[in-house]
A and B are shown apart, each in its own frame.
Chain A
Amino acid sequence: MTELTMNYSIVLFELKISHEIIHETKNIFLESRELLNALSNPSIQQNEKHSVIDSIFDKEIRNFLKVLSDNNKIDLIVNIIDAYDEVLLQSKNILKVTFTYVTIPDENQINQIKEFVRDKYNKADVLLELKEDSSLLGGFILTVGDIVYDKSIAGTLSSLRKTLAWR
């Protein structure tokens, strides 16, 4: 995610477009590769692109997409909307974390994890993304932004290997 996508995503957030429309836009682009190719094709005239945008998308988001296509940055749209989701969560003081497991945690455990993250990072709520990965052998990995809490057997083994083989 570059600085450019960040800037566009902040603008998108500030436009106060309802996020159903934004997600619908993302889905359209994801489903139709041809549309993205056409809009990012430099040999197609600007006004033609504008009329395509006018005929497909909701009124609220049209201008934003037109500016993007005029600046030849329409190929970033999916990234921009992903970044927009983060900006949206940030504005609501919600933290998104990833939980990688071998055996799926029960409701109670999930609540404990959420509580831990909420207290530690002082957030209003926590959005937990669950991911299964059997290569961990056992235990779990909790990823909060840049910080990784590794309590998996695979991780412990690799750090044990480092300790034993140190120099």
Chain B
Amino acid sequence: MSSIKQSDIISVLKSEIENYDIKTNVSETGTIIQIGDGIATIYGLENAMYGELVEFETGVHGIVQNLEMKTVGVVLLGSDYGLVEGSKVTRTKKRAGVPVSSSLLGRVVDALGKPIDGKGNIEAEDYYPIENEAPGVVARKSVTVPMQTGIIAIDSMFPIGRGQRELIIGDRQTGKTSIAVDTIINQKKENVVCIYVAIGQKASTVAKIVSTLTKHNALDYTIVVAASASDLAPLQYIAPYSGTAMAEYFMKQGKDVLIVYDDLSKHAVAYRAMSLLLKRPPGREAYPGDVFYLHSRLLERSARLSEEYGGGSITALPIIETLAGDVSAYIPTNVISITDGQIFLESELFFAGIRPAVNVGLSVSRVGGAAQTKAMKKASGSLRIDLAQFREMEIFTQFSAELDKSTKDLLDHGNRLVELLKQPLSKPLPLHEQIILLVSANNKLLLDIPVKEIKKFRNDLIDYFENKYINIIEEINTEKVLTDELISQIVEATKEFKSR
């Protein structure tokens, strides 16, 4: 720092001032005629565009949301302190947007892209409008590359592909955010840029997530966009769009992006508050008429681009919170119909100790199957059907004590599968571990192990493979195909481990 002299700074300032071109400042202005609740009605601004950024006298910005005959309705993106009836408002002639650059990685920013983590300024490389058109039909390509979550229950039964939109839905306290955060942690070696958008959450929750990500060295490739519960409704409304604009910046560079919207129910609530204050007519559950479009235009921007368009992708994991497991409420049904599948989490399972509490019957992934690695497809095989049969049989066992052998085997197998799919927080499993465990389970090698010891058994088994059969692990990771020969090798090795 000592190399910069005071005289240098002064001379730079001097030349800057001398070369300052004094132009007549032509601007288009309007006057506030009514202001309150973060909404201002402006008289004038006759040529203002919908969605345009306007500047108030105090330097606060706003977005034009309503165009009327003589007035425009503007939502404020900051404090209304110091603004009164008669204050001047100036057009900026640009649409609302966020600064984007790769130095955003590892940072926590607000809905306008300004840093809020106290780590200094972010150098902007470009300015992206928050509302952008989704990629068209020509630019897209079908989903073929997996997005590994590291959660065995999801990767085996409801695989997610890059460019897919998979909804995570469930009641409060069922581990929705944990699934998303685990997925981010699992992208460490996958060269995926992650964006976590927190909408209307407690600032303490966001701080906890940031510290979890830091602890697992996952913040380096992650951007956290936070519009917490204390932020204005308009900021909560634009936060997911800002996050997506940042995602698009990376997608255009051909990178794969994972974006988590946590959560869209609160986003809809913020939009409802804003719409009602803008005097738009309320509809069902007092949401405005365009609440479906609100989410569909957001999620439609997730895509996998074809090679000619750079080949990048945006994978979206929107989160929706239900009330008492009611998936037929307004916002849940909307988002379910927009996304390419959902992971349904149940509090009943969660409290029974089955975590992640994925309901196998109601969860589905509509396009992920094509993206699953061949090895995983073969290893997971009949897992879903086995679990479904197990659930069906489990109900019958409550009525009769007498069970024939085949039913008993089915129940034993099912119990062990359920145990196998349990997974602790922030411990994503790599592909090879998932495959070894699934192969040994499908070949009924776990049947003679007591349910309580499954957890220990699987840890020991993986250790054993890592020490003795590193060649099998390498073959799974490089070939990503599960040949019959490889299956028999895994089976033999597991048997060997058990007979020690």
Q: Which residues of A contact B (CB under 8 A)?
A: 1-3, 6, 143, 145-151, 155-156, 159-160, 163-164, 167
The 30 sampled A-B contact pairs (Cβ below 8 Å) are A1-B33, A1-B43, A1-B70, A2-B70, A2-B71, A3-B68, A3-B69, A3-B70, A6-B69, A6-B70, A146-B28, A146-B30, A146-B44, A146-B46, A147-B26, A148-B25, A148-B28, A149-B24, A150-B24, A150-B27, A151-B24, A151-B25, A155-B25, A156-B22, A160-B17, A163-B16, A163-B20, A164-B13, A164-B17, A167-B124
CA distance A164 to B69 in the complex (A): 38
CA distance A155 to B71 in the complex (A): 26
Contact status A146-B47, CB under 8 Å: yes
Top 9 nearest A-B pairs by Cβ distance?
A: A150-B25, A146-B44, A3-B69, A146-B28, A151-B24, A148-B27, A148-B29, A155-B25, A146-B46
B121 at the interface (CB under 8 A from A): yes
CA distance A148 to B26 in the complex (A): 6
Contact status B25-A156, CB under 8 Å: yes
Residues of B within 8 A of A6 (CB): 69-70
Residues of B within 8 A of A163 (CB): 16, 20
Residues of A within 8 A of B43 (CB): 1
CA distance A162 to B358 in the complex (A): 54
Known: A1-B70, A3-B68, A3-B70. A147 touches B20 (CB 8 A): no
Known: A160-B20, A163-B20, A167-B121. A146 touches B71 (CB 8 A): no
CA distance A163 to B71 in the complex (A): 31
Contact status B46-A145, CB under 8 Å: yes
Name the residue of chain B whose CB is nearest to the CB of A151.
B24
Residues of A within 8 A of B13 (CB): 164
B45 at the interface (CB under 8 A from A): yes
Residues of A within 8 A of B28 (CB): 146-148
Q: B141 CB to closest chain A CB, in angstroms?
A: 37
Residues of A within 8 A of B33 (CB): 1
Known: A1-B43, A163-B20. A149 touches B26 (CB 8 A): yes
Residues of A within 8 A of B69 (CB): 3, 6
Q: A116 CB to closest chain B CB, in angstroms?
A: 12
Q: B54 CB to closest chain A CB, in angstroms?
A: 12
- Would you give the 0/1 interface string for B384-410, flagging 1 where the beta carbon is closer than 8 Å to chain A? 000000000000000000000000000
CA distance A51 to B188 in the complex (A): 84
Residues of B within 8 A of A3 (CB): 68-70
Among B1-58, those with CB < 8 Å from A are 13, 16-17, 20, 22, 24-30, 33, 43-47
Q: B109 CB to closest chain A CB, in angstroms?
A: 15
Interface size on B, residues (CB 8 A): 24
Residues of B within 8 A of A143 (CB): 29
Q: B351 CB to closest chain A CB, in angstroms?
A: 51
CA distance A100 to B25 in the complex (A): 14
Q: B126 CB to closest chain A CB, in angstroms?
A: 14
Name the residue of chain A whose CB is nearest to the CB of B16.
A164
Among B97-144, those with CB < 8 Å from A are 121, 124
Residues of B within 8 A of A159 (CB): 25
Scoring A2, A6, A155, A163 by chain B CB atoms within 10 A of each residue's CB, the highest score goes to: A2
Contact status B70-A146, CB under 8 Å: no
Q: Which of A145, A147, A156, A167 contacts B27 (CB 8 A)?
A: A147
Q: Which of A146, A149, A156 contacts B45 (CB 8 A)?
A: A146
Residues of B within 8 A of A151 (CB): 24-25
Scoring B17, B24, B46, B124 by chain A CB atoms within 10 A of each residue's CB, the highest score goes to: B24
Contact status B26-A150, CB under 8 Å: yes
CA distance A145 to B43 in the complex (A): 11
Name the residue of chain B whose CB is nearest to the CB of A164.
B16
Name the residue of chain A whose CB is nearest to the CB of B69.
A3
Scoring B26, B121, B124 by chain A CB atoms within 10 A of each residue's CB, the highest score goes to: B26
Among B48-86, those with CB < 8 Å from A are 68-71
CA distance A45 to B22 in the complex (A): 63
CA distance A93 to B50 in the complex (A): 29
Q: A166 CB to closest chain B CB, in angstroms?
A: 11
Residues of B within 8 A of A156 (CB): 22, 25
Residues of A within 8 A of B46 (CB): 145-146
CA distance A1 to B85 in the complex (A): 13
- Supplied contacts A3-B70, A145-B46, A146-B44, 9 more A-B pairs, CB within 8 Å: A1-B33, A146-B45, A147-B26, A148-B29, A150-B24, A150-B26, A156-B22, A163-B16, A164-B17
Scoring A1, A146, A155, A156 by chain B CB atoms within 10 A of each residue's CB, the highest score goes to: A146
CA distance A155 to B88 in the complex (A): 14
Q: A136 CB to closest chain B CB, in angstroms?
A: 12
CA distance A149 to B24 in the complex (A): 6
Residues of A within 8 A of B17 (CB): 160, 164
CA distance A146 to B88 in the complex (A): 10
CA distance A160 to B68 in the complex (A): 34
Name the residue of chain A whose CB is nearest to the CB of B43.
A1
CA distance A151 to B27 in the complex (A): 11
Q: B239 CB to closest chain A CB, in angstroms?
A: 22
Scoring A1, A160, A164 by chain B CB atoms within 10 A of each residue's CB, the highest score goes to: A1
Residues of A within 8 A of B47 (CB): 146
Q: B175 CB to closest chain A CB, in angstroms?
A: 41
Name the residue of chain B whose CB is nearest to the CB of A142.
B24
Q: A98 CB to closest chain B CB, in angstroms?
A: 12
Residues of B within 8 A of A150 (CB): 24-27
Name the residue of chain B whose CB is nearest to the CB of A156.
B22
Residues of A within 8 A of B25 (CB): 148-151, 155-156, 159
Name the residue of chain A whose CB is nearest to the CB of B91.
A146
CA distance A144 to B71 in the complex (A): 17
Residues of B within 8 A of A149 (CB): 24-26
CA distance A18 to B29 in the complex (A): 33
CA distance A150 to B25 in the complex (A): 5
Name the residue of chain A whose CB is nearest to the CB of B90.
A148
